[in-house]
Chain A
Amino acid sequence: MRNLVAIPIIILTVILQSAIVSRLPLLAGSADLSLVVLAAWALQDGVETAWHWALAFGLLVGFVSALPFFVPVAGYLFIALLARGLQARVWQIPLLAMLSVCLIGTAFFHMISLGALKILGAPLEISNALGWITLPSMLLNSLLAIPVFTMVRDLARWVYLPLESE
């Protein structure tokens, strides 16, 4: 039943992303709170709903954003996949795994966003996108990674530990 907490958290995250985080740019880049929260959730021990979260984030961001619908869905599913893969291998150092997922995930997400927008005809320069958007966004996501990871870890403990102890 406590898994239902995902619904308000995902909605609140996307609202915060759109209303606040996107308005705090570094150069032309901005942090992706949804990506960081999803990565932190998928890296927690015992979490089995990472795919659901990825899909929900993808659908909601796809609804809010003008990006083609499949871009956030594919992007967040990849981040969940990456996080689950790293969680199985680098479980001893979760913060390292978190930073890795944020950096690689941001790069991948921006790559598919850029690819999709270019296919749709937007005149985007890759060098500009990399220097002005992707690198600053990676830095911002890395800065958010550790505090968000700590908060999400507490949330995961609240959701799963009581069930395990019962």
Chain B
Amino acid sequence: MKNLFSRTLQITIVFLVVAGILALALGGFFGPVSNAVTRSLVGAQTWFSSRFVALQYLLTSSRDVAAMREQNIRLQAEVAELQAQVIQLQQQAAEREILAALVDFSRTHSEDTFLAAEVIGKDPSPFLHYVIINRGSNDGVRKGMPVVTNQGLVGRVTAVIADAARVQLITDPASNVNVRLQNAKTESSLVGSLTGDLTLELVQQNVAIERGDLVLTSGLGGGYPPDLIVGQVVNVRARESDLFQQASIQPVVDFNRLQIVLVVVDFTPVDISPLIPAP
């Protein structure tokens, strides 16, 4: 009986204490204590949370970096592939431009028959200005045939095998082309040089040569067909003590960028060497 009374008293006291605390708390008397406890809890929560987020970021971000690296490699490969395509397309566009110009040229010169050929090499000797083309006797190319581009005269075929031919450029030191000046109505000789410069020689002193005059093949000698554009006069050297005057010629063809050329296959060169008296 005594134990039961004591227990009931204990419960009542605990209830009253709890009720009192609740009443004080609800009445706002525990504000500072509550705030302090809350702040500590929030601080602890914040600490744990921030560490967790940091850890999570670390774990997940490493996966992102790997994924990004993978993506980067894939994109770089894609960019490289696209760049290769762009270069290929640019090359095709350039070739198409050249071919269109050549077709246009062959249409305007419908009296001649042309065969397109690609330049595949250059003479190994730096003393000689020759190129190698990928058309030969199988395609109807013969020794002596003139070679042109849409811009003008390139040279002539000097050696032929089945599927290739060697072309002597007009800039070769041993090259000699009979030409005429369009405005001056005079004929002379155009020679090449080691450095690739073209010089007009054997022009009589009384002929007026002007800068910008067009130089065309004359057809004399039978080596080249007439009226092919060769170049323009850029500089005249006339001295009274000399028998003839000379002129530097700027070729219309860019010999450093020769890619595709046209062989004039219906032109038969005339060999006049038997008619030239031996010295």
Q: Which residues of B contact A27 (CB under 8 A)?
A: 195
Q: Which residues of A contact B132 (CB under 8 A)?
A: 18, 64
| B124 and A132 form a contact (CB under 8 A) | no
Q: Which residues of B contact A65 (CB under 8 A)?
A: 123-125, 128, 130
CA distance A66 to B165 in the complex (A): 11
CA distance A27 to B127 in the complex (A): 12
B interface residues, how many (CB within 8 angstroms): 22
CA distance A30 to B127 in the complex (A): 10
Q: Which residues of A contact B123 (CB under 8 A)?
A: 18, 22, 64-67
Q: Which residues of B contact A18 (CB under 8 A)?
A: 120-124, 132
Interface-facing stretch out of A3-11, A44-52, A82-90, A118-126: A118-126
* B235 interfacial by beta-carbon distance below 8 Å: no
CA distance A13 to B127 in the complex (A): 19
Q: Beta-carbon contacts of B173-195 to A below 8 Å, as 1s and 0s?
A: 11000000000000000010111
CA distance A30 to B159 in the complex (A): 23
CB distance from A61 to the nearest CB of B (A): 5
Q: Which residues of B contact A32 (CB under 8 A)?
A: 124
Q: Chain B interface mostly helix, strand, loop or mixed?
A: loop
Q: Which residues of A contact B135 (CB under 8 A)?
A: none
* A147 interfacial by beta-carbon distance below 8 Å: no
* A128 interfacial by beta-carbon distance below 8 Å: yes
| B195 and A28 form a contact (CB under 8 A) | yes
Q: Which residues of A contact B127 (CB under 8 A)?
A: 67, 110, 113-114, 117, 122, 124, 129, 133
Beta-carbon nearest neighbor of A14 in chain B? B124
Q: Beta-carbon contacts of A78-108 to B below 8 Å, as 1s and 0s?
A: 0000000000000000000000000000000
* B168 interfacial by beta-carbon distance below 8 Å: yes
Q: Beta-carbon contacts of B155-180 to A below 8 Å, as 1s and 0s?
A: 00011000000101000011000000
CA distance A32 to B127 in the complex (A): 12
CA distance A137 to B127 in the complex (A): 11
CB distance from A90 to the nearest CB of B (A): 28
* B269 interfacial by beta-carbon distance below 8 Å: no
Partner of A124, one of B166, B168, B173, B196: B173
Q: Which residues of B contact A132 (CB under 8 A)?
A: 194-195
CB distance from A25 to the nearest CB of B (A): 7
CB distance from B89 to the nearest CB of A (A): 23
Q: Which residues of B contact A117 (CB under 8 A)?
A: 127-128, 173-174
| B124 and A125 form a contact (CB under 8 A) | no
Cross-chain pairs A/B with CB under 8 angstroms, 26 sampled: A17-B124, A18-B122, A19-B122, A23-B122, A25-B126, A27-B195, A28-B195, A29-B126, A34-B124, A64-B123, A64-B124, A64-B132, A66-B168, A67-B127, A110-B127, A113-B125, A117-B128, A117-B173, A122-B174, A123-B191, A124-B127, A129-B127, A132-B194, A132-B195, A133-B126, A133-B127
